C-alpha cells in the first residue's frame, strides 16, 4: 500500500462545507490538502503545487470541472496527475464525458470517508505503478544499453587486436569487458529485487542480524578490497523482525553507497540505536564523505533518481529498494547529516512480528 505521508492532494470545490469535509478526511489519513474554489484557481494551484492527485467537483462558477480536466490533459506538466470527480450529478453521459477527458474515478455526493480514501489510495497506487514502469523502461534503455554497447565494442577491439597488441592491452580490454558485464548484472539484479518486493508476500520473523550483515559484506568483498574501505560494526546486534534475504539487500545497498560516497579509503560504520518509536529498532550505516546537499535530500529515496553532481556511478535503485523493503516489513527509512563529516542512512524494523489477523 502506498504511504500517504506528505502527499499533497488538491481539492477543487465551490461548496465550503464539502471542501471542509474532504480536507478533514484527507488530513486524518495523513495527506496534505490544498484547496481551490473553482477550476481556474485549481489549474493555477496544480501548476504551482504539483499535487499527487486532484479531487474536483464538476459544476463550479467560471471554469467547470470538465474544463479543468481538459486543460490539465493538454498540459505536459499536469497530464499525468490523477483526477477524481466528485459530484452530486453523475449520470451515464456525465461519467462518459469525464472518462473521455481522463477522469480516473467518480464519487457521488454524499460520500463516506472510506469511499474517498479507498479511491484516492487506489489511484495513487496505479500512478505509482505507471511511473515505475516508465522509469523502468528509461533505466533499461539507458543504463543497460550503454554498458552493453561499450562491452561489445571492447570485445570487437580485443578480437581485432589480439595478434597485434601486447599482453597489457589485452588484459585491460578483458578487464573492461568483465567490469561492464558486472554492471549490467548488478542493474538487472536490482530491478528484479525492486519488482519482487512489491509483488512478493513474506512473513516477518525474528532475525539474527550478525550473519545477515556478514552475508552482505561478503558480497562486497571485492569493492572493499579495491577501495581500501574500513568497515566497523558492533559485536552484538539487537533482535528485530523481518525477512532475511531482503535485509541482506538493505545492508548491501547502504554499505555499497557508503563506500561509493565515502571518499578515498572510506571509513564505514555500522550500528544501531533506539528508535523514537518504542516498537521499532533503528539500524544505520554512516560514511566519511562530504555529505548530501540540502536540495538533494528530498530525492534520496525516489526510485530511478540519481543525485545531481554525484561523482559515483549509479542508476537510482539502491535507496528505493531499501525504502520499499523497510515499508513492506512495517518499518521506516531515513537520512541524517552528521555534525562534522559524512552521512548516516538508517532503516527501522519492528521488534515483534505482526499480530496474526483474526
pLDDT value at residue 116: 92
Give me the pLDDT at residue 25, please. Answer: 93
Residue 314: pLDDT band with limits 50, 70, 90: very low
Q: Give the fold, CATH level 3, of 205-350.
A: Heat Shock Protein 90 (3.30.565)
The cell numbers describing 101, all together, are 477527458
C-alpha dist (Å) from residue 176 to 154, 182, 203, 256: 8, 10, 41, 20
pLDDT in tens, 241-287: 999 989 998 999 899 989 988 888 899 999 999 888 888 999 999 98
Angle at 48 between CA 43 and CA 50, to 5 degrees: 85
**Is 356's pLDDT higher than 60?**
no
pLDDT at 250: 92
What pLDDT is attached to residue 189? 66
- Provide the pLDDT for residue 21: 94
The answer on pLDDT for 306 being more than 60 is no
User: Class of 8-111 per CATH?
Assistant: alpha beta
Name the residue ranges covered by the structural domains of the chain.
8-111, 131-199, 205-350
Q: What is the pLDDT of residue 310?
A: 46
Lowest mean pLDDT: which of 42-46, 81-85, 125-129?
A: 125-129
Average pLDDT on 177-200 reads 66
Name which of 59-63, 149-153, 186-190, 214-218 the model is least confident about. 186-190
Percent composition of the chain: helix, strand, coil (DSSP 3-state, to 5): 50, 15, 35
State the average pLDDT over residues 72-85.
85
Q: Report the share of the chain in percent with pLDDT over 70.
A: 74
Confidence of residue 315 (pLDDT cuts 50, 70, 90): very low
Q: Do domains 8-111 and 205-350 have the same CATH topology?
A: no
Higher pLDDT, 155 or 296: 155
What is the full DSSP assignment across 53-115?
EEEE-SS-SSS-HHHHHHHHHT-TTTTTS-EEEEES---HHHHHHHHHTT--EEEESS--HHH
CA distance 39 to 56: 8
Q: Is pLDDT at 40 greater than 80 in this prediction?
A: yes
Nearest to 258 by CA among 287, 283, 230, 232: 287
- Considering the chain, what is the average pLDDT of its residues? 80
Position 139 pLDDT exceeds 80: no
Distance, in Å, from the CA atom of 132 to the CA atom of 125, rounded to the nearest integer, reads 11
Considering the segment(s) 131-199 as one domain, its CATH architecture is Orthogonal Bundle (1.10)
Amino acid at each position: 500500500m502506498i504511504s500517504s505521508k506528505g502527499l499533497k492532494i488538491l481539492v477543487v470545490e465551490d461548496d465550503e462545507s464539502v471542501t471542509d469535509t474532504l480536507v478533514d478526511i484527507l488530513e486524518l489519513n495523513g495527506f496534505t490538502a490544498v484547496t481551490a474554489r473553482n477550476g481556474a484557481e485549481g489549474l493555477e494551484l496544480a501548476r504551482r503545487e504539483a499535487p499527487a492527485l486532484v479531487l474536483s467537483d464538476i459544476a463550479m462558477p467560471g471554469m467547470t470541472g470538465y474544463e479543468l480536466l481538459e486543460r490539465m490533459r493538454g498540459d505536459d506538466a499536469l497530464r499525468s496527475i490523477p483526477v477524481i470527480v466528485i459530484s452530486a450529478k453523475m449520470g451515464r453521459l456525465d461519467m462518459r464525458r469525464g472518462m473521455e477527458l481522463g477522469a480516473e474515478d467518480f464519487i457521488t455526493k454524499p460520500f463516506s470517508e472510506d469511499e474517498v480514501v479507498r479511491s484516492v489510495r487506489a489511484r495513487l497506487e496505479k500512478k505509482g505503478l505507471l511511473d515505475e514502469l516508465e522509469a523502468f523502461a528509461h533505466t533499461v534503455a539507458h543504463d543497460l544499453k550503454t554498458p552493453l554497447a561499450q562491452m561489445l565494442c571492447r570485445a570487437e577491439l580485443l578480437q581485432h587486436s589480439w595478434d597485434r597488441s601486447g599482453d597489457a592491452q589485452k588484459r585491460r580490454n578483458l578487464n573492461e569487458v568483465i567490469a561492464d558485464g558486472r554492471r549490467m548484472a548488478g542493474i538487472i539484479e536490482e530491478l528484479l529485487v525492486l519488482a519482487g518486493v512489491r509483488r512478493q508476500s513474506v512473513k516477518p520473523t525474528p532475525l539474527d542480524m550478525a550473519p545477515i550483515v556478514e552475508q552482505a559484506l561478503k558480497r562486497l568483498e571485492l569493492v572493499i578490497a579495491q577501495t581500501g574501505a574500513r568497515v566497523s560494526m558492533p559485536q552484538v546486534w539487537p533482535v528485530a523482525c523481518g525477512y532475511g534475504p531482503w535485509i541482506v539487500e538493505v545492508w548491501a545497498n547502504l554499505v555499497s553507497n557508503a563506500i561509493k560516497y565515502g571518499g578515498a579509503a572510506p571509513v564505514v560504520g555500522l550500528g544501531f540505536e533506539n528508535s523514537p518509536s518504542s516498537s521499532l529498532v533503528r539500524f544505520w550505516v554512516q560514511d566519511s564523505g562530504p555529505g548530501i546537499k540540502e536540495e538533494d535530500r528530498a530525492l534520496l529515496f525516489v526510485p530511478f533518481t540519481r543525485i545531481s553532481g554525484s561523482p559515483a556511478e549509479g542508476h537510482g535503485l539502491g535507496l528505493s529498494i531499501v525504502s520499499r523493503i523497510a515499508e513492506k516489513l512495517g518499518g521506516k527509512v531515513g537520512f541524517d547529516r552528521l555534525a562534522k563529516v559524512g552521512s548516516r542512512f538508517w532503516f527501522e524494523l519492528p521488534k515483534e512480528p505482526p499480530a496474526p489477523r483474526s
